[in-house]
Structure 1
Amino acid sequence: MRSWRRRVVRLLAVAAALLALATVPLGLILYPTLKPYPKADVPAAATQRDRNLQDLAHLRRLPEVERSFTAQSRAAFGQAVAAIEPRAGELDRAGLAMAAAKAVALADNGHTNVLGLAGDRGFNAVPIRLDWFADGLFVIATDEDRQRLLGGQVLGVDGRPLAALVEALRPYVGGPANLAREFVPNLLISPELLHAAGLAATAEGSSFEMRFADGAVGSVELVAKAATRPPHDRFVWPSDNLSPPGRSSGWRHVLDGVVLPTYLTHLDANYWHDFPADDLLYVQINRVSDQGPVGLSAYLSEMLDEAAKKPIRNAIVDLRFNPGGNYTLTADFTRRLPELLPASGRLFILTGAHTFSAAISTAARLRHFAGQRAIIMGEAMGDRSQFWGEGGGTVLPNAKLALRYTTAFHDWEHGCSLSQITTCFLLNYIYGVPAGDLRPTVTIAPRFADYAAGKDPVMAEVMRQLATRQAR
């Protein structure tokens, strides 16, 4: 009996040792990915200087969790924060926001940024809204009193040419240059953010040099209004304004009264689809997250079941306004859709600078499984094919500025190797693919005149290519 008990004890000890051997390495891999940002436990501060110093002390802890830093960029970040501290008593909220953004952007990672830096999101704003087109930056919305500015092209602000402003604002956004450019409209409409960056003489208003819709060139003085919406803890994408909000909003829009092109008709829906022709599927995924009674994964599965009953030869997946989410929700779809198409079919993946994070992962998987049948069309996506993601967010305790940190690496061009297991996102060893080059096969950016007329040149090119193939 004692011998039997000793054997059981030994077996349990061996099992425990084996479990420990398996658990300890897994813990070493997972802990850096799951490690939370240290909590900010600060006492009430009496002065702006002390409040800012508390916020900067919290910001200083970013390297404890942020894994995209290199040794060089980590040192540069520390030096940047140290350079802000002597000015703590001088900085208002906008000043702290821009200084912090410039420091965080040194990580040079699209997901690692101060979030919500946008006019009317906790910062003042002039009464116009802007967005980029192939031929420049244009006014797409105004308040009631400034409708004459609709369709105006922005040439400069406060005496600085637009190109110089884009270059000057580049250091405030980490990641590729096209992502930083994408967010320039958010900053240009807020005089206090421009003033904080040293690009405006006053925080109260701005002078915009424009080429107006009638072709005349001139300047217009715009006075800023206080923010009507609270600070935001996510990226604010200017292209969300491309669809008119309706007259009840108090805003006037370039597309008021215009029949909207398909891609602008359902921007408030996370996902929807249509069959423009018997053999063509169009699906627009605007967020990789669930919405309404049917979750994204189930919706896409039911859509493919429906498509399987039709003579589908070609498909279009529109990701142009998709900032990301949970890419596992599209994992089954990205494999099944290419399987549905014949060898002679085509899969068009529509992208733009707003295509970000899990949307990049979705595009990569579609590109991989469709192979030579895949055509990426539109503009470059908003981040590189290799980026750091996951992680989480924190908020500076006094200024309530949100920032994002990242803890897991993604490589959607080559895939993750076993040598990267301590850095790559573990789910990428299940879902990751070596998709190759994710730059557009065909680069097309709408011109403002096309947009204002309700045209979609990207879809027009898709249909042209399909018609050409059918005619052969």
Structure 2
Amino acid sequence: MSLTEDLNQILETVLPTDPSFRRIERAVMDSCICETRRHALEGSIEAFLMSAMRLLALPDNGHTRLIPNDAIEVLPLRFVTVGRSVQLIGAAPEITAPRGELIAVNGADLSRIEAAAEQFLAGRHQRKRVIGPILLAWPYALARLGFASDSGTTEYRLRDENGQITNLKVANGHTVPGSALYPRNEHGKDDPTWQPEAFVEIKNWQDLGLSIALPSFFDPNETALLAGISAAGERVRACSNKPLLIDVRGNTGGDFLLTMPLIDAISESAIKQIVVLVDKFTFSAAIVFVAILKHRLGNRLTLIGEEMGDGLTFFAEGGLLDLPASKAVVRYSSAFHDWKNGTADETTPPEVARKIVAVGALNLDLEWVQGSAAEDAQGEFHQRVLKSMSNWINDR
């Protein structure tokens, strides 16, 4: 297989299928295709990958993008956007690296690098902040963006929580597979191999209230998610006198239709205080879940966290395309969703169109960045939010 055949798969499958490309000027698209084809003919895999990333980022559709993680080698450092900053949160075992906020790379302020990288990253600004950090550990990407070092090393300037500045140098030849530190579906956790232990995690915090964590709506067999949703619905009805916290941080989506029994249970229960936690890693079906709850509950629902990874008007469904020559993966969409205005078109699946409602907006009631991983693991963050709910809601 050749890189040209990889490109042909994109041109024959993705561009004709994905409705988000209909709004892109043909001349703009042809220019990106020409550049990608040139790199394919040259046999330069990394140049091809970045050009294909730019092509697939044209519609600003976060669902559609080239995912290079399985195809590239990166420096053994894991960067993740936490709140408004990029943090070094981990490294390969053989590297001793301090945790902290990334300030500069090879002497260039991070803001300059992020501005140069925007055209290669798909989606709205929050999606870019989720998928962008891998570029900071990819030597070729830094060179393509104009921020390479001439010394054969990459130097990172970091600031720890006490304000102390550290310079960390890594040899450009010291790389690991990209997927080892950057998961295909980025969740923002310290451990890149993290997987949810359960689809639904219910905890009764006694007088504080009830918390339900929903880390994923993607269940290939559907049975485990359905069982968890059913159990959560029963618990909500049984505890309708308690404050309720729903946590969909890090939930990248799946099938929102499977969650409708829980939405019904929450909507039909006489719960006065309902908080939903969201973050930039909340996408797709998880956004729809929140949108329907907001439509049904109105002011009864308080939205806390940070702006989600996509808006209410987006593209979804579609599929995955493996590119055998480059080893990259393309994710593409095939259907239009408009939960802002409550509209659908010919690409919207009928079962989705029947559920679409006009939500208008999903504005945060309170911006609150998540606690540490340790706080999450022990439920301390949920308890802190529940303790604050009554006072905050009463003061609105």
Q: CA deviation at 1:364?
A: 0.8
Cα distance, 1:188–1:470 mapped onto 2, change above 3 Å: same
Q: CA deviation at 1:58?
A: 2.6
Q: CA deviation at 1:109?
A: 0.8
Distance 1:468 1:388 in 2: 35
Q: CA deviation at 1:365?
A: 1.2
**Greater Rg, structure 1 or structure 2?**
1
Q: 2:159 aligns with which of 197, 200, 211?
A: 211
Q: 1:423 aligns with which of 347, 353, 359?
A: 347
CA contact (8 A) 1:281 1:312 kept: no
Q: Which residue of 2 aligns with 1:237?
A: 186
Q: Which residue of 1 aligns with 2:225?
A: 296
Partner of 1:435, secondary structure, is: coil
Would you say 1:128 and 2:77 are equivalent positions? Answer: yes
Q: Which residue of 2 aligns with 1:366?
A: 293
TM-score with structure 2 setting the length = 0.87
- Alpha carbon RMSD of aligned pairs, Å? 3.2
Moved more, 233-242 or 105-114: 233-242
Q: Which residue of 1 aligns with 2:327?
A: 400
Q: Which residue of 1 aligns with 2:36?
A: 84
Distance 1:214 1:235 in 2: 32
Q: Which residue of 1 aligns with 2:369?
A: 445
CA contact (8 A) 2:57 2:121 kept: yes
Q: Which residue of 1 aligns with 2:259?
A: 330
1:332 is aligned with what amino acid?
P
Moved more, 227-236 or 370-379: 227-236
Q: Which residue of 2 aligns with 1:280?
A: 209
Q: CA deviation at 1:458?
A: 7.7
Distance 2:335 2:221 in 1: 30
CA contact (8 A) 1:138 1:154 kept: yes
TM-score with structure 1 setting the length = 0.74
Distance 1:233 1:441 in 2: 31
* Cα shift readout 1:418-461 (whole Å, capped 9, x = no counterpart): xx441333222322222221131212224xxx537848768634
Q: CA deviation at 1:185?
A: 1.7
Distance 2:98 2:182 in 1: 29
Q: Which residue of 2 aligns with 1:436?
A: 360
CA contact (8 A) 1:109 1:174 kept: yes
Moved over 4 A (4+): 201-205, 228-234, 242-245, 291-294, 455-459, 467-472
Would you say 1:101 and 2:101 are equivalent positions? Answer: no
Q: CA deviation at 1:414?
A: 2.1
Cα distance, 1:205–1:279 mapped onto 2, change above 3 Å: same
Distance 1:466 1:244 in 2: 36
Would you say 1:180 and 2:128 are equivalent positions? Answer: yes
Q: 2:104 aligns with which of 156, 161, 182?
A: 156
* Cα shift readout 1:6-33 (whole Å, capped 9, x = no counterpart): xxxxxxxxxxxxxxxxxxxxxxxxxxxx
Cα distance, 1:170–1:468 mapped onto 2, change above 3 Å: closer
CA contact (8 A) 2:35 2:51 kept: no
Moved more, 227-236 or 324-333: 227-236
Would you say 1:139 and 2:63 are equivalent positions? Answer: no
Distance 1:138 1:71 in 2: 35
Partner of 2:119, secondary structure, is: helix
Would you say 1:464 and 2:391 are equivalent positions? Answer: no
Distance 2:249 2:383 in 1: 12
Distance 2:109 2:206 in 1: 46
Q: Which residue of 2 aligns with 1:18?
A: none
Equivalent residues in 2 for 1:312-331, closer than 5 Å: 312-331=241-260
Q: CA deviation at 1:278?
A: 4.4
Partner of 1:431, secondary structure, is: coil
Alignment gaps of 5+ in structure 2: none
Distance 2:196 2:150 in 1: 35
Partner of 1:166, secondary structure, is: helix
CA contact (8 A) 1:176 1:383 kept: yes
Distance 1:233 1:209 in 2: 21
Q: CA deviation at 1:204?
A: 6.5
Cα distance, 1:71–1:421 mapped onto 2, change above 3 Å: closer
Q: 1:227 aligns with which of 151, 172, 176?
A: 176
* Cα shift readout 1:265-284 (whole Å, capped 9, x = no counterpart): x8443321111124722111
Cα distance, 1:214–1:234 mapped onto 2, change above 3 Å: closer
Cα distance, 1:92–1:325 mapped onto 2, change above 3 Å: same
CA contact (8 A) 1:351 1:379 kept: yes
Cα distance, 1:357–1:204 mapped onto 2, change above 3 Å: farther
Q: Which residue of 2 aligns with 1:57?
A: 8
